[in-house]
Structure 1
Amino acid sequence: MSTEPAKRILLGIAGGIAAYKAADLCSKLAQAGHHVQVVMTSGAKNFIGETTLSALSGRPVATESFDPRYPLGPHIELAVNLDLMVIAPATASILAKLAHGHADDLLSTLYLQNTAPVLLAPAMSDPMWNQPAVQRNIETLRNDGCQIVGPEKGWLSCRVQGVGRMSEPTKIAGEIHTLFSATTKRS
């Protein structure tokens, strides 16, 4: 990834146990020279700390819809000139919000403001992933132009094997590289 020009990436982190993997993804993207802005949901803060992500990205983490650091609103200012919006993990809750245009937190509001490509890395339990409602939301998001990476089959935090494991940060970073390469070739 280090051979591509620096890109502006918004890394959204939703509230699931896979949020710990977002730290590695953030680190990989920053080390590749990208400008990474992290946005966390309130649920994500239960799984990983803002300090970790701020240190890895080199920027303050945004968590609130109303933040005096952004006079026009963080959902406006953080969406300007983005090259990519990544949400990892993308929980069942955030997928439903995005699919239905429900904007009740900073991350879901940013999604509606964003005009850059979107990459979603779902993570949840196997029964949740296999719910018809979740699959309908995934299909809606694909039809809306979102790219989906994963989820994978494997050991889940609920101590069972199944589909729902968030793809590894290396795989997500590879998908990001592929998206950027495809964009460069079309330009």
Structure 2
Amino acid sequence: MSISGKKILIAISGGIAAYKIHFLIRDFVKKGAEVQVIMTPDAEQFVTKLSISTLSKKPVYTDFYSDNGTWNSHVELALWADVMLVAPCTANTLSKMVHGMCDNLVIATYMSAKCPVFIAPAMDLDMYVHPSTRKNLEMAESFGHVVIPAESGELASGLIGQGRMAEPETISNTIENFFNSQQEAQTLRGKVVLITAGPTYEALDPVRFIGNHSSGKMGFSLAEEASKRGAKVILISGPTAQTINDKNVELHKITSAKEMLAKVFEFYDTIDIGIASAAVADYAPKEVAKEKIKKNDENLTLELVKNPDILKTMGEKKTHQFLVGFALETQNEEENAKGKLEKKNLDMIVLNSLRDEGAGFKNDTNKIKIFTRTEKKEFDLKSKDEVAKDILNFVESQLLK
């Protein structure tokens, strides 16, 4: 695979190594990539907008506003990119990135980026080995960014040592290898995955509802991981503070169980995998008051009626879909989970217990067991992002059978 068709956002900061970017842009464009360049104000001391835009075939932005007053949206720039490359990345720009010092277009765009970020540092050797620089590079890597190490050689100061920005060929190969490995990891490419997430809220009156403590974190982590594996994801979420910016994830927000049911079956016939991680309210008020219920009596009696069982309905209408359910239990966990697997015609079920510390609602971690009709697999306490990987790995193993 080449980088043809990929969208590469290059951010140039103010270092002498900026002259090398011309060769890199030319290489990317020659290989069919689409290149957009942004620059810090200091970068203009080393390269010109004219030379960069000539090679990239796009306008180059250095400020939030163009001369004609047009706003250069850092959000749109960030969401446009498949990868962002900061090269050269000076000590100053690196520090601003990891500490959130957002005072120019480059940093604002970086802080809005959801794509992988590559950093090619360039500075004098004493600056490169300084404890603050080493710490900042470690922080950048802890954010998940890829640091392309500086190389050794003659520096602008006349000194010889490590600090030279990696050569354009090295940077190009690093990014091309990333896209190649990403392609190899596209284990769900061509699949459509529907995921339900979060709670449902069942209205009592215009201001009150019956709900639960589900944060939606597990469902959103599953959506992000499925997208990374190449799937088209339909994410149907109840009320939650979770957000997602991923071009492969189609987010639909609902409030009640009935709304979730209707939305699920808008897509159900077209999906390959259904993962029902939402915590759907089992009951809803029989009648919803049109006005706010006043606190007049000592007691308030509510009549509740059963909500539609979304997962059971999905199981009943299953034709080709691989269906995954979730069970959150407080007692007889395994027995109840296996019973749900059978009753709702699921292919597998993910069990977590509120008795396990760190599992369940609101936590950033979860501890799960997975059951099929013939298998059981237990996992340690992990972050929900890692749990999402475990779940999808298991799904893929079942699809291969």
Range class of TM-score, shorter chain: over 0.9
Counterpart in the other structure of 2:304: none
Secondary structure of the residue that 1:59 maps to in structure 2?
A: coil
Counterpart in the other structure of 1:9: 8
Code of the residue aligned with 2:138 in structure 1: it is E
Counterpart in the other structure of 1:123: 122
Counterpart in the other structure of 2:277: none
Q: Distance in 1 between matches of 2:73 and 2:28?
A: 22
What is the deviation of 1:4? 3.9
Structure 2: runs of 5 or more not aligned: 187-401
Q: Distance in 2 between matches of 1:184 and 1:93?
A: 34
Q: Distance in 2 between matches of 1:143 and 1:96?
A: 14
Code of the residue aligned with 1:169 in structure 2: it is P
Q: Distance in 1 between matches of 2:79 and 2:56?
A: 18
Counterpart in the other structure of 2:109: 110
Q: CA RMSD in A?
A: 1.2
Code of the residue aligned with 2:41 in structure 1: it is S
Q: Confirm or deny that 1:54 pairs with 2:15.
A: no
What is the deviation of 1:54? 0.2
What is the deviation of 1:82? 1.2
Deviation track 1:83-138 (CA, whole Å, cap 9, x = no partner) reads 00001100001100111111100001100000000010000000000110111100
Secondary structure of the residue that 1:18 maps to in structure 2?
A: helix
Counterpart in the other structure of 1:185: 184
Mapping 1:1-187, distance limit 5 Å: 3-67=2-66, 68-70=69-71, 73-187=72-186
Secondary structure of the residue that 1:119 maps to in structure 2?
A: strand
What is the deviation of 1:66? 2.8
Structure 1: runs of 5 or more not aligned: none
Q: Distance in 2 between matches of 1:183 and 1:96?
A: 29
Code of the residue aligned with 1:96 in structure 2: it is S
What is the deviation of 1:182? 1.4
Runs of 4+ in 1 over 3 A off after TM superposition: 67-70
Secondary structure of the residue that 2:177 maps to in structure 1?
A: helix
What is the deviation of 1:77? 1.6
Q: Distance in 1 between matches of 2:176 and 2:28?
A: 10
For the 8 Å contact 2:7–2:83, the answer to whether it is kept is: yes
Q: Distance in 2 between matches of 1:95 and 1:158?
A: 20
As a proportion of its length, which structure holds more helix? 1
Secondary structure of the residue that 2:10 maps to in structure 1?
A: strand
Code of the residue aligned with 2:185 in structure 1: it is R
Secondary structure of the residue that 1:20 maps to in structure 2?
A: helix
Deviation track 1:125-175 (CA, whole Å, cap 9, x = no partner) reads 000001101111000000001101120011001011011000100000000
| Pair 4,108 (structure 1): closer, same or farther in 2 beyond 3 Å | closer
